[in-house]
Each structure stands twice: as structure tokens, then as C-alpha cells.
Amino acid sequence: MSSGLLLAGVEPACHVAQRGAPIRRRTARDGFTPAMTNVDAEWRELLLAGRTGDAAAYRRLLKEVAARLRAFLMRRLDSAQRGDLEDIVQEILIAIHRHADSYDASKPVSPWVYAIARYKLIDYVRRTRRMRLSVPLDAVAEFLAAETIEDAPARGDLASLLSTLPPKQQAAIRGVKIEERSVRETAAATGMSESAVKVSIHRGVKRLIDLVGKRP
Amino acid sequence: MKTDDLIAILDAPTEPGPRLGARFAVLGALGMVIALAAVALVYGVRGDLSDAVIVTLLKSGFGAGAAFAVAPLALTLARPNTRVKAAARATLVFLGGCACVAVADAVLRGSFFGFGLWGGFPECLKRVPPLAAPIAALLFMAARRFAPTRLTLAGAAIGAMAAGLAIVPYALFCPMDYPAYVATWYLASILVCAAFGAAIGPFVLRWR
């Protein structure tokens, strides 16, 4: 993949699922074991599928990224910072969600994920002024090698965050996302039109992730 | 809240996002038009332009070549990334080319005359950065949307690219035609703009 091809305007189409497109695979030379290369390839598939609307693939990607982030961060945060660990993981997931279309499909995906994670970590250090945290620029292999740790609750509660939203958005999100009913059922139950439900979900989620992102 | 809950409410993106390359191209072109207007109205086109068409085209070509050489680096740095060495190759080749031209001119001419220092302070160092500023502003706006993670380097690359694009119309004004002059002082003005870009990158490119 010659870098010369990355001229303005001659960029690979990032939003067509390019499972067969050749990318420069990381090798043992970069410190990647075959297992890590597999993880990288799997995440890439999930992200590309997610970008074309596959919600299940997208969620699975976020869960797997979160699991590895937890393990990676556990080793790097000191005990005073560990209380914030889940909050940091959530901020990184939100950043990945917001900027999912910045991933260039012709490149490996784990450096992209790691770069976002590192950026948000540095932000955290700057904000809380807890200086003892070193995040090397190129610890992608270490990040992928970290074992996975399953979910742990962070501060705050979805229910209480939801209650800060206007009633329409609360009802829409509760119906479709939490009780997992269809848009049509939720529309019928709440008396809103289907498009009103969709708009309310969209706005409500946006507000929620803004709230999550603003935590001190 | 539980992270699983957070993930449950995040929707997969359904619309394709904008394309960075296309945005850079459009905004770069727009910026060049603005710079062209500034050259025509403020600096003034050189009086002997009709005699110097080829040389002017070559000097504009230098600017365009610089912009294209830095573009892969700027496009890579505008996104989250940890490794940029491959993208930097074109830039390094360009720098090498400039060095070769400068050395060749000095050797063939047998003196440093071609570097134009007899003319006093190289004007392009003062005049190119203001032309590059609006172009850089437009490119920064585009890049910010794509979540750059190495802000100083991204700022430098965008500053350099803006300078290259600014040189394209600047050649219409500049009266110095020596290759060594162009290879050294035009390049120096690109580096000055890169330095400015590097300085403001960490502030302007910050995203949430």
C-alpha cells in the first residue's frame, strides 16, 4: 500500500465493508504474536461491519475493547487512580463511538484504538493532575496481549442518569434500549409517533454520553 | 453506570462519514484561491510575468510538489495513529530533492550566488506565512473532525501543507528565480509555517 497513493482525493473508500482489502498486517517484527494479529483482524471485521450498521458486531467490538482496556489499565494505573478505571474505559468507548469514521480501513485497527485510548488517558492525567502515569506511544502489542477483564460497575447509575432526561427521551430509551421492545411497540405504549421515538432516542443518547463524558 | 449498559445504548453508525481526503482537497483548493486573491491584491503580480512564465510555473510546481509530498503525512496524522513512518517517506524524498538542488546549484555555479543573499533578507520568509495562514485554518478545521492524536506533528504537517499550497500563487509575485534560492528559502518558509503549525496544533486540534 504505497503511501504515495494517499494523495488528497485518492483515498480508499472507508465505508464499504472491505473485508478482502489488503492491509499491512503486523508481524512478529512489530512484536505481534499470531494471536494478536487474529485479534486485530477480528476487531477490524467488527468495526467495518459496525460502520455499515451491524449493531451486534459494533457492540461486540466495544465489549472486547473494553475488556482489554481494563486489563491494560489495571497494570498502569496506581491504586489512587484505579477508582477511575471504569470511568476512563467508558470515556474511551465514547471517543471510539464518536470518531468511528476516522478509522482508515487500509490500516490495522488496533493502533487506531490504542491511539484513541492513549489520547484519552493523557487527557485524564492532565485533568486530574495525577502525574504518575506513563503511556508509551507504541505499546499496541502490550495492549493486545493484556488479558480480558469483564465488566465492573462504574460510578453513577444508568437509571439516575436517565432520570435527568426529558420524559419523552426517557420513555423512548427505556422502551427500546433497556426493555428491548421494538420501536413500534414503544411508540404505541408511549403515544409518540415512530419517528418521534427514533428522534428522542438519538437526542437522549447524545445527552447521556455527553453527561458521561463530562464527569470530573 | 455499568459499561455494558453504556454499550447497549450506543447505536452502530448508519451513515457513512465524510472523507478526509476529499475535504482536504476542497479546502486546500479554496485556500489557494484566497491566497491567489491576496497575492493579486496585496503583494501584486510581478511586472515581468510574461517573460518568466516557465520559471513561475516551475516555482508554483515546487509549492504544489511540497503540498503533495506532505499530504500523506498530514492525512495520516489527522486521524488517530501511532505510526507515521511510512507516510513520511514522500516528505523525506522531497527534502532530499531540495538538498540536491541546492548543492548542485552551488557546485555548478561555483559560488553561493544562487542563494540570493545579496538581495538582503529573503522576502518569502515574511510573505508566505500570512498567505498560508487562512489555508492552514481551513485544513485545521477539517482535521479536527477526524480526531488526530499526535497534535504537534499533525499541526506541523498541516502547516507545511498550507505553506506549499500558498507558494503556488506566491510564485506570481516573487522575483527571485534561482533554483538554489527556491530550494532553500521557499523550503525555509515551509518549515517556518510547519513550526507555527506545530506550536498551535495542541490547542487548535484538541477534540473531545
pLDDT of residue A208: 83
CB A7 within 8 A of CB A43: no
Q: Is the pLDDT of residue A31 over 80?
A: no
Q: Is the pLDDT of residue A13 over 50?
A: no
How far apart CA B63 and CA B174 sit, in angstroms, is 13
Contacts of B168 (CB under 8 A, 6+ apart): B32, B35, B36, B60, B63, B64, B67
How far apart CA B77 and CA B133 sit, in angstroms, is 19
Task: Note down pLDDT in tens along chain B; length 208 residues.
Answer: 788 888 888 878 777 777 888 999 999 999 999 999 999 999 888 888 888 899 999 999 999 999 999 999 999 999 998 788 888 999 999 999 999 999 999 899 888 888 888 878 888 999 999 999 999 999 999 999 899 999 999 999 999 999 999 999 999 999 888 899 999 999 999 999 999 999 999 999 999 8
Say whether B175 sits in a helix, a strand or coil. Answer: coil
How much is the average pLDDT of A18-34? 56
pLDDT of residue A215: 56
pLDDT of residue B64: 95
Q: What average pLDDT does chain A have?
A: 78
Of B5, B8, B13, the CB nearest to A51: B13
Q: Which residue of B has its CA nearest to A180?
A: B8
How far apart CA A97 and CA A120 sit, in angstroms, is 13
Local confidence band at A137 (pLDDT 50, 70, 90 cut-offs): confident
How far apart CA B34 and CA B132 sit, in angstroms, is 10
Local confidence band at A9 (pLDDT 50, 70, 90 cut-offs): very low
Residue written as cell 489495571? A74
Does the beta-carbon distance from B3 to A86 stay under 8 Å?
A: yes
**CA-based nearest distance A150→chain B, Å:** 10
- Chain A residues closer than 8 Å to B68 by CB: 7-8
pLDDT in tens, A149-180: 666 655 567 777 888 888 888 888 888 887 77
Local confidence band at A24 (pLDDT 50, 70, 90 cut-offs): low
pLDDT in tens, A43-56: 999 999 988 888 88
Give the A:B interface size as CB pairs under 8 Å: 164
Q: Is the pLDDT of residue A187 over 90?
A: no
How much is the average pLDDT of A123-152? 75
How far apart CA B82 and CA A114 sit, in angstroms, is 8
ipTM given for this complex: 0.86
pLDDT of residue B130: 94
- For the packed helices A183-190 and A194-213, what is the interaxial angle rounded to 10 degrees? 100
C-alpha separations of A32 from A44, A67, A89, A192, B127 in Å: 16, 19, 23, 52, 48
DSSP A118-174: HHHHHHHHHHHT-------TT-HHHHHHSPP----B-SS-HHHHHTTS-HHHHHHHI
pLDDT in tens, A105-117: 888 899 999 999 9
How much is the average pLDDT of A128-153? 73
- Chain A residues closer than 8 Å to B82 by CB: 111, 114-115, 118, 137-138, 140
The residues of B whose Cβ lies within 8 A of any Cβ of A are 1-14, 16-22, 24-25, 28, 68, 71-72, 75-76, 79-83, 86-90, 146-147, 149-150, 207-208
Say whether B178 sits in a helix, a strand or coil. Answer: coil
pLDDT of residue A79: 75
The reply to whether A102 touches chain B by the CB within 8 Å rule is yes
How much is the average pLDDT of A95-104? 90
Q: Is the pLDDT of residue A196 over 90?
A: no
- Chain A residues closer than 8 Å to B11 by CB: 55, 58, 201-202, 205
**CA-based nearest distance B90→chain A, Å:** 7
Say how many C-beta atoms besides its own lie within 10 A of residue A76's C-beta.
18
For testing contact with chain B, the best of A16, A102, A151, A174 (most B CBs within 10 A): A102
**CA-based nearest distance B191→chain A, Å:** 21
